[in-house]
């Protein structure tokens, strides 16, 4: 087996610069989010954002759903991969954080593709109607199994579900003070599920790609 490259901050910057670098709007959104302080660690990474846009285009997604929007960075990336008449439904509990995102979605010309629904995402997901091509889940980690079970029937065959932070900083293996039980249970839950194909990418904090068979 080949070796996995260790992605340092410097290498991450190189990868983004030689892939899809952030434009001015995305960069300013990240900068404004950093001003919020410690919570800014919740931001999706720049290489993940580029991957989200590319995957949205690759599956020719027209309808997408995001669970966990925060200040709208990943939603900006997904919505940019959608066609003009595409739709991204964003579920989050925070009016305060998502209102930051709304301003940048307006500036990027994607606001009319985004339908933001404030409330507990477990309840909002249960009310989703119609079929989706792509889902991105990045909310509270103990909720991942319920989100997976709620979203899978709503995704079309060959559609894609994406789950962030599935490697929990690498703590899913070995002995650690803070055992990420939720991630271990989620990863085990989907690993041998015959309804899906699963690939875990070592990008950001771990991104799981799930293709519906
Ligand atoms: C890691 S952040 C999302 C980051 C975002 N994807 C980005 O790219 O910046 C997690 C978000 O999930 C939201 N959240 C947590 N629990 C939730 C729940 N039960 N229902 C809806 N949203 C929830 C939080 O308000 C927060 O905005």
Ligand 1 pocket test, candidate residues 33, 93, 123, most atoms within 8 A of CB? 93
Ligand 1 atom with minimal separation from the 48 CA? 8
Q: To the nearest whole number, what is the mean pLDDT of the chain?
A: 96
Written in H, E and C, the secondary structure of the chain is CCCCCCCCHHHHHHHHHCCCCCCHHHHHHHHHHHCCCHHHHHCCCHHHHHHHHHHHHHCCCCEEEEECCCCCHHHHHHHHHCCCCCEEEEEECCHHHHHHHHHHHHHHCCHHHEEEEECCHHHHHHCCCCCEEEEEECCCHHHHHHHHHHHHHHEEEEEEEEEECCCHHHCCCCCCCCCCHHHHHHHHHHHCCCCEEEEEECCCCCEEEEEEC
User: What are the structural domains of the chain?
Assistant: 9-212 (3.40.50.150)
| 58-77: pLDDT as tens digits | 999 999 999 999 999 999 99
pLDDT bracket for residue 2 (50, 70, 90): confident
pLDDT digits (tens, 9 = 90+) for 144-187: 999 999 999 999 999 999 999 999 999 999 888 899 999 999 99
Q: Give residues (CB < 6 A) around ligand 1.
A: 42-44, 68-71, 73-74, 91-94, 97, 120-121, 138-140, 143
Q: Cα angle at 118 between 114 and 122, to 5 degrees?
A: 105
- Mean of the pLDDT values across residues 111-115? 98
Ligand 1, atom 19, residue with closest C-alpha: 120
- Separation of alpha carbons 56 and 58, rounded Å: 6
Interface predicted TM-score (ipTM) of this complex, two decimals: 0.99
């Amino acid at each position: 087996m080949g070796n996995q490259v260790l992605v340092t901050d410097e290498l991450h910057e190189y990868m983004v610069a030689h892939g899809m670098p952030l434009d001015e709007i995305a960069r300013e959104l990240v900068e404004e989010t950093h001003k919020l302080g410690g919570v800014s660690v919740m931001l999706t990474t720049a290489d993940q954002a580029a991957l989200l846009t590319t995957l949205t285009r690759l599956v020719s997604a027209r309808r997408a759903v995001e669970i966990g929007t925060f200040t709208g960075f990943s939603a900006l990336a997904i919505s940019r991969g959608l066609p003009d008449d595409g739709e991204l439904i964003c579920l989050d509990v925070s009016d305060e954080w998502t209102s930051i995102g709304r301003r940048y979605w307006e500036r990027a010309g994607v606001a009319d593709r985004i339908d933001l629904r404030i409330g507990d995402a477990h309840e909002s997901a249960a009310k989703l109607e119609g079929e989706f091509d792509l889902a991105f889940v990045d909310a509270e980690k103990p909720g991942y199994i319920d989100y997976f079970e709620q979203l899978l029937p709503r995704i079309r065959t060959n559609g894609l579900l994406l789950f962030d932070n599935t490697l929990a900083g690498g703590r899913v293996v070995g002995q650690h003070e803070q055992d990420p039980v939720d991630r271990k249970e989620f990863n085990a839950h989907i690993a041998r599920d015959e309804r899906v194909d699963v690939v875990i990418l070592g990008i950001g904090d771990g991104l799981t790609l799930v293709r519906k068979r």
